[in-house]
Amino acid sequence: MLNRTEKKDKPICENFSEYNDVRKNLNNALLIKEPFNHWTFEKVLPKNLLDKVLKLPIDPPVINTYSGKRETNNKTRIFFNSENCKKYECMEEIAEIFNSDKIVSKLSLISGNDLSKGKLRIEYTLDTGDFWLEPHLDIKQKMITFIIYLSSDTNDYTKDWGTTIYNKDLTLNSKIPYKQNTGFMFIPGQNTWHGIPRQYIFGVRRNLIINYVSSDWKSINELYKLS
């Protein structure tokens, strides 16, 4: 069962004990200005909520040929949409938290971008085997991108799992360290080049990719709620 209190007059997310923990954790945003404004976060999710996600009975999708672009395998992608949130309670819990007015306001304040009219889109990624993301820019319909790393970082091979940030000329700028339950957020723009160098993923590289998207988003089946 969802971890709710008996108070029925509050929004659903405020009846989750984890809600206030997430709000507090977002206060620890660290702004990095080069080569574009981005923010990092420590311990985004409370441990019990993180554990629930890691225990989801979902296997990595079978991808025979990978191209370096997630959209080439759209049929195998996993979203916290209304259908999946009905099947998996922790998906609904996370979606309700990030769909709440106070969390949206908090992220708007941190980023300086008004997300109040955005629609929530959360993708659960399970990368394994031969994998990479070519340097790319997120599309303009994404008002914000917030990645939460979920997998354990206790193995040596996870050191290369973090997101690589590139300069405008696509030379290497830096890498966001892959540490469990840390976050990386930015506002997509003309210089926000990022990707994952090609490598063989031993185990599963699990992440949440949280977007607030504009009203003209076409793939509405990816969204949590439409109202």
For residue 132 the two structure tokens come to: 């990479």
The stretch 187-195 carries a mean pLDDT of 97
Using an 8 Å Cβ cutoff, are 54 and 68 in contact? no
Torsion of the alpha carbons at 173, 132, 183 and 100, rounded to the nearest 10: 130
CA 140 from centre of chain: 17
- pLDDT tens readout for residues 126-174: 999 999 999 999 999 999 999 999 999 888 889 899 999 999 999 999 9
pLDDT-derived band at 15, boundaries 50, 70, 90:
low
For residue 144 the two structure tokens come to: 């914000």
Amino acid letter at 92?
A: E
Res 156: pLDDT = 84
- pLDDT tens readout for residues 85-108: 999 999 999 999 999 999 999 999
Amino acid letter at 134?
A: E
Res 38: pLDDT = 98
Q: Return the DSSP state at 74.
A: G
pLDDT-derived band at 1, boundaries 50, 70, 90:
very low
Report the length, in residues, of the chain.
227
The stretch 30-37 carries a mean pLDDT of 97
pLDDT-derived band at 55, boundaries 50, 70, 90:
very high
Longest pairwise C-alpha distance within the chain: 55
Amino acid letter at 116?
A: S
What superfamily does domain 12-59+67-216 belong to in CATH?
q2cbj1_9rhob like domain (2.60.120.620)
Using an 8 Å Cβ cutoff, are 194 and 166 in contact? yes
Res 67: pLDDT = 79
- pTM, 2 dp: 0.91
Res 12: pLDDT = 60
Res 19: pLDDT = 83
Helix boundaries (H) for the chain: 18-25, 47-54, 82-87, 89-99, 101-111
Distance CA 191, CA 79 (A): 27
Res 13: pLDDT = 63
Strand partners, 206: 126
Res 63: pLDDT = 74
The stretch 19-37 carries a mean pLDDT of 93
* Secondary structure (3-state) at 17: coil
What are the residue boundaries of the structural domains of the chain, listed by start?
12-59+67-216
Checking DSSP bridges between strand 119-136 and strand 78-79, what pairing results, if any? Answer: antiparallel
pLDDT-derived band at 3, boundaries 50, 70, 90:
very low
Res 2: pLDDT = 40
Distance CA 191, CA 136 (A): 10
pLDDT-derived band at 17, boundaries 50, 70, 90:
confident
For residue 81 the two structure tokens come to: 């949409």
